[in-house]
Amino acid sequence: MQAGSTAPLASSVRVQRSRLWRQGLLLSLLLTLLAVALPIASHSASPSDRCQADRSRQVLSNSTELPIAQRVHPLPGNWAGLPQSSNHYLEAIAPSRYGYLVWAVSPLCIYIEPASVGDTAAEQRQQQWQQAVNQAVADWRPYFDLQLVSNPAKADISIWRRSPPLRRNADGQLDRARTAETSLVFYREGDRALPRYRIDLGLTQGFAGLVSTARHELGHAFGLWGHSDQPEDVMYVAQSSRNIQLTDRDLGTLRHLYQQPTQLGWPLPRSQDGRSQ
């Protein structure tokens, strides 16, 4: 009886040890998976925080050279349906000193100067301007991850409610007044060189013209640094009072543009002290 009573006890101990070993193994595997997954989750979450984070920016001078070769960035995954035909105006798009003006960060942070709240004619005009700009941003949103910010210092693209300054031509004469202008600077953010745009858009147009002009200027800020020669395209060289929509030719040019090489957006090499060169 005594020997017969110890066998079930030993068997029970072995079963319990086996169960504890399996539980320990599962816990170890779970901790390993978490150790791998947490950095991935942190990395994937960081782009969504880009527009809220305090980013260090250093403006690059006109003589700054980047010590990297021009390369092609992968196309965004949701661009598979963009037109691929030869009907485009890429030949009219000018590259910068760092290559084509391709965005390789996401989301893009956009600041829109807010309108005054009120019922006066001037305030209503400001509100109409803001509605037009919001509409133009919405029209580009299917192709770029755009996030509105309230602080212009954190913007990649800032849009201001003012007419461009008057300029003199080579003969010293004042150029004709313009309704909008997009200007560009380059800066270093972290270990990458990126563009930064400012759009000045005046109040002199009707709603349809404001929307079309805002679409056009945003096209420049998304890299279409040139003009179409066809009046049906948003990027046509002359402004229009009509509500000009994005065409397959505009989008096809955008696709071809983002298949061109650039130095922008690629990591810069680091020196031995860990800082970007």
- Phi then psi for residue 54, to 5 deg, are -80, 115
10-residue mean pLDDT series, the chain (277 residues): 40 48 47 36 48 88 94 94 92 97 96 96 96 98 97 97 79 70 95 96 94 97 97 91 92 97 94 45
pLDDT of the residue at 31 = 39
pLDDT tens-digit series, residues 116-128: 999 999 999 999 9
Peptide bond into 107 cis (omega under 30): yes
Please report which helix (H) or strand (E) contains residue 45, including its range. Answer: helix 2-45
pLDDT of the residue at 85 = 87
Chain mean position to CA 236:
23
The predicted model scores a pTM of 0.79
Closest CA to 112 of 126, 128, 133: 133
Closest CA to 256 of 94, 97, 89, 95: 89
pLDDT of the residue at 243 = 87
Token look-up 């991850």 returns: 145
Closest CA to 98 of 137, 140, 68, 59: 68
Token look-up 């390369």 returns: 71
CB atoms within 10 A of CB 166: 10
pLDDT of the residue at 173 = 64
Token look-up 């301007």 returns: 129
How large is the C-alpha radius of gyration of the chain? 28
**How far is Cα 222 from Cα 207, in angstroms, rounded to an integer?**
22
pLDDT of the residue at 165 = 79
pLDDT tens-digit series, residues 160-213: 999 987 776 667 665 655 789 999 999 999 899 999 999 999 999 999 999 999
pLDDT of the residue at 55 = 80
Q: Is 24 exposed, middle or buried (0-12, 13-18, 19+ CB in 10 A)?
A: exposed
